Chains A and B, each alone.
Chain A
Amino acid sequence: MIGDVFSWLFDAQHWQAHDFELGIGDQIYNHVLYCSYALIIALAIALPVGLAVGHTGKATWLISAANAVRALPTVGVLVLLVVIIAPHFYGRTNTGYLLPTEIVLVLLAIPPILSNTFAGVQNVDPAARDAAYGMGMTPSQVLRRVELPIALPLIFSGFRSATLQVIATATIASYVTLEGLGRYIYDGLAQQDYPQMISGGLLVALLALTADLVLSLVQRLVVSPGITGKSRRPGTTTNVPDPVSADELAAGAARS
């Protein structure tokens, strides 16, 4: 079976678009595109809101509200929105399926980014914040130059778990007839073409692992070495890894 999978994957025919079928490269592109839209929109909403709520300590109910959304079964919400929205679009475009999918992906991506941004800003050492104010920084300077950089590792872990959930759920969107790598899984299943189905699973897993790896490299470049503990002045105590926090747990919670 594993041999069949590899011969399916490395068959040049499957990499070229022909008739009504897209090539593997096109489907990877589609998958990444759907995910990018959702992640950019979710980041544009969740990051400023999380920073504002964390900085001011007001409207914390927003965080609990976003977290409550996670209890919903993703597939159910996806099917529900498709059934509601799709009939309003006719013709050959896939807007009727793309729109509900993107709504679900954005809804999924917001809670981990929002709650981790909030937690990151909340967890800033009050002494560091006071010192910044004492040096004469304005509240917005404190937010941008002190709280944001210190919160960055947690924000990244939220964004990474959002990315993984979005990639996973975009796969399931193929079940409601959208393009993307999930097409191979659901088409393979329908045609009892198991090498195709398993190849689809392999491609999705590789995409998720690659995305996580790339983000971890970006995180390493962006996060200040003073926070990760890589640059250390002599005399400071060594960093003991924190036990897993409730926020981190919750970040990994909702998945699909």
Chain B
Amino acid sequence: MSVLATSSPWGFWSYFLDHRSEDLGWLWDHTWLSVVPVIVGLVIALPLGWLARRYEWAYPPLMSVTGILYTIPSIALFVLIPPVLGLDPLTPLQVPIALTLYSVALLVRVVADGLSSVSQETIQAATAIGYRPLGRFLRVELPIAVPVIAAGVRVAVVANVSIVAVAGTIGMSNLGLLFDEGFKLSTKTPYYPPIVLGIVLCVLLALVLDTAVVLLTRAMTPWRRVVR
């Protein structure tokens, strides 16, 4: 058994090479589970954040609901979503739905605060040169709010990478299954390679996604480079 020969923590690379197709599949699942819910969450949070900013009465209830959502531990939300939505108890959909809810909860507040960072002078100037409310929102207020929103998106993406791994403990396909495997193979003596590989891949994925958001933000806000 070559498996036992490489049970040291540094054996994770040869472990990866031995189980490449399986590990890459989990890495891919982990990646889309970390990214897609944030994109969907942002699309939902934009109108809600606008609503919270536009109408004062909408702000407190929106913040309480999202605050309560953000309080519920991820593993609890995973198992609670299927019965609430009337789905199968172990539907693979529960993870992306839970992550989307977390992303919305985080981003509604961020979008509202980002929009409030737009100065009144700017809004008045945009109105004066003929922007209608929708056009002004899309082409003036939203672009100016991008840096604040992007900071929230970075937090959401990096948090998601860690939460997705939790779903591995209830058998969902992602890098968390590497920890599951390592734990099950360590009944008598520690078998480190899958565990270390999982940690390394999760950290790398978080770094790559975080950098991608930073670069994307930079590309979307060219005027900030001129000012500095």
Give Cα A249 to B111, complex, Å: 13
Residues A200-214 near B (CB distance < 8 A): 200-202, 204-205, 208-209, 212
Complex partner residue of A73 from B74, B90, B198, CB under 8 angstroms = B198
Interface size class of B (residues with CB under 8 A): 35 or more
Contact of B165 among A75, A205, A212, A254 (CB under 8 A): A75
Question: Which residues of A are found within 8 Å of B158, using beta-carbon distances?
Answer: 71, 253
B195 contacts A80, C-beta separation under 8 Å: yes
Select which of A80, A243, A249, A256 is within 8 A of B73 by beta carbon: A256
Question: Residues of B contacting A76 with CB < 8 Å?
Answer: 165, 176, 178-179, 195, 198-199, 202
Docked pose: A97 CA to B25 CA in angstroms: 31
A38 at the binding interface (Cβ < 8 Å): no
- CB pair B171–A244 under 8 Å, yes or no, is no
Among B79, B114, B152, max chain A CB count under 10 A is at B79
The answer to whether the Cβ of A164 comes within 8 Å of any Cβ in the partner chain is yes
Is B203 in the interface zone, CB < 8 Å from A?
Answer: yes
Determine if A65 is an interface residue (Cβ-Cβ < 8 Å).
Answer: no
Across the interface, which residues of A come within 8 angstroms of B219, CB to CB?
none
Q: Which of the residues A79, A182, A244, A246 comes within 8 Å of B75, measured between beta carbons?
A: A182
**A244 touching B202, Cβ below 8 Å:** no
Q: Which residues of B contact A208 (CB under 8 A)?
A: 71-73, 76
Please pick, from A2, A200, A212, the residue contacting B79 in the complex, using a CB distance under 8 A.
A200
Q: Flag if A168 contacts B74 (CB, 8 Å).
A: yes
Are B75 and A72 closer than 8 Å at their CB atoms?
A: no
When the two chains form the complex, which single residue of B75, B148, B195, B203 contacts A172, counting CB atoms closer than 8 Å? B75
Residues A198 and B83 in contact, CB atoms below 8 Å apart? yes
The interface bits of chain A over 181-205 (1 if a CB of B lies within 8 angstroms of the residue's CB, else 0) are 0100110010000100110111011
Chain A residues closer than 8 Å to B117, beta-carbon distance: 243
Write the A69-111 contact mask toward B (1 if CB under 8 angstroms, else 0).
Answer: 0011111110110111001000000000000000000000000
CB distance from B170 to the nearest CB of A (A): 6
B192 in contact (CB, < 8 A): yes
Q: In whole angstroms, what is the CA distance A33 to B134 when docked?
A: 53
Is B80 at the interface (CB under 8 A from chain A)?
Answer: yes
List residues of chain B with CB under 8 Å of any chain A CB: 68, 70-80, 82-83, 86, 89-90, 106, 109-110, 113-114, 116-117, 148, 151-152, 155, 158-159, 161-163, 165-166, 168-171, 175-176, 178-179, 182-183, 186, 188-192, 195-196, 198-199, 202-203, 206-207
Chain A residues in contact with chain B, CB under 8 A? 1-2, 5, 71-77, 79-80, 82-84, 87, 164, 167-168, 171-172, 175-176, 182, 185-186, 189, 194, 197-198, 200-202, 204-205, 208-209, 212, 243-244, 246, 249-250, 252-256
Known: A72-B199, A205-B76. 11 other contacts (CB 8 A): A71-B206, A72-B202, A73-B203, A75-B176, A76-B195, A168-B74, A189-B170, A200-B76, A243-B114, A253-B158, A256-B163
